[in-house]
Structure 1
């Protein structure tokens, strides 16, 4: 099997997350995409709502797609172990006979190339990646400028989705906070869940 691991805050999950996962799944002929929400325990990110709410919304969002799956591994490990390097080790142990890819945006490729990721060297040397285009980021240039990425460029599959979709979770949170109406930017079930629980107010 070919499996993509799609890590993000999903705070909240949006239609762009789903469309991206679906596009990658189709173009790269993946058998499964695993949605991997980041933990509240992470030092480098501040979440805007609880792990439980984000898990509930992901479950609602992916319920009708048999190729989509949720894994809460990063939410359950001890603080200090929520690094992608350890996460990919976990998945390789869980799926020893399958081909695994970490799905990420081009902005993260740049960060890894600039040495901003913990265990970045080991991560790149030991894993394969599917990298999604982001507006204004030259993916080939980012690889060329980094010795680490350059020397392992066969680990990266670059995907230009052919359509810029820059609606972010941040935008949706801001709309909700300001009394806006972002209903059709996220799955209906998630929109109504947010309204029911008064999230992002």
Structure 2
């Protein structure tokens, strides 16, 4: 039996912090694979700044030298308004029936799930496991204890709380802003992605 982490994000663009986070999680949680899962551009809660094709190509370029990393287009190909994370995780559990599946997320998303803001929240928490990364200003244990939903489904294995030990919060939006004003974010994202963005004039 293996252990697989599902790492969903806009990846608009993918950054070195995404890669470092995935590597840290994989190392500390003994994951065999990390699946990078770009979100659908059809999501009503997301405003993406480039095409699915560009985002997909940059994710592939960013992870190509790490055999533990996999890119998957599942959510990009869905009609986003009909797909919840709970369904996504069910999909991967069907693909990898002999492995343990974990959803990798930040503590800010734990807060939203605890407040019932996600679709199919009861089934999501009841039937899945989560690796939760610390975020500045969020007490993860307190969030679990204050949410009836989270605390009543926490059997000691549902939530793996992980403090990365280093506050690296450079965001995709910061990088987009730098490109937009002629800044130089070169070493905040993979070199191949930096060159791709410059070549195609993305985020101007």
Question: Structure 2 length as normaliser, TM-score?
Answer: 0.97
User: Which of residues 164, 167, 174 is equivalent to 1:161?
Assistant: 164
Stretch moving more, 19-28 or 151-160:
151-160
| Matched-pair contact (CA < 8 Å) for 1:40–1:47 | yes
Distance 1:174 1:80 in 2: 28
Query: What residue in structure 2 maps to residue 179 of structure 1?
Result: 182
Q: What's the C-alpha RMSD, in Å, of the aligned pairs?
A: 0.8
1:78-133 superposed Cα distances (whole Å, 9 cap, x missing partner): 24233101100100111111100000000000000111111111100010000001
| Matched-pair contact (CA < 8 Å) for 1:106–1:134 | yes
User: Which of residues 188, 192, 198 is equivalent to 1:189?
Assistant: 192
1:80 partner SS: helix
Distance 1:48 1:40 in 2: 9
Q: Give matches, 1:80-91, under 5 Å.
A: 80-91=81-92
| Matched-pair contact (CA < 8 Å) for 2:40–2:80 | no
| Matched-pair contact (CA < 8 Å) for 2:133–2:161 | yes
- In the alignment, does 2:130 pair up with 1:129? yes
| Matched-pair contact (CA < 8 Å) for 2:144–2:150 | yes
- In the alignment, does 2:64 pair up with 1:75? no
1:43 partner SS: coil
| Matched-pair contact (CA < 8 Å) for 1:14–1:169 | yes
Q: Give matches, 1:1-201, under 5 Å.
A: 1-153=2-154, 154=156, 155-201=158-204
1:160-191 superposed Cα distances (whole Å, 9 cap, x missing partner): 00000010001111111111100000000000
Distance 2:201 2:83 in 1: 28
Unaligned runs of 5+ in 1: none
Unaligned runs of 5+ in 2: none
Instruction: Give the number of equivalent residue pairs.
Output: 201
1:123-166 superposed Cα distances (whole Å, 9 cap, x missing partner): 00010000001111111111111000111223100000000001
1:65 partner SS: coil
Distance 1:11 1:189 in 2: 15
4+ residue runs over 6 A deviation: none
Distance 2:135 2:186 in 1: 24
Distance 2:197 2:137 in 1: 32
Stretch moving more, 71-80 or 58-67:
71-80
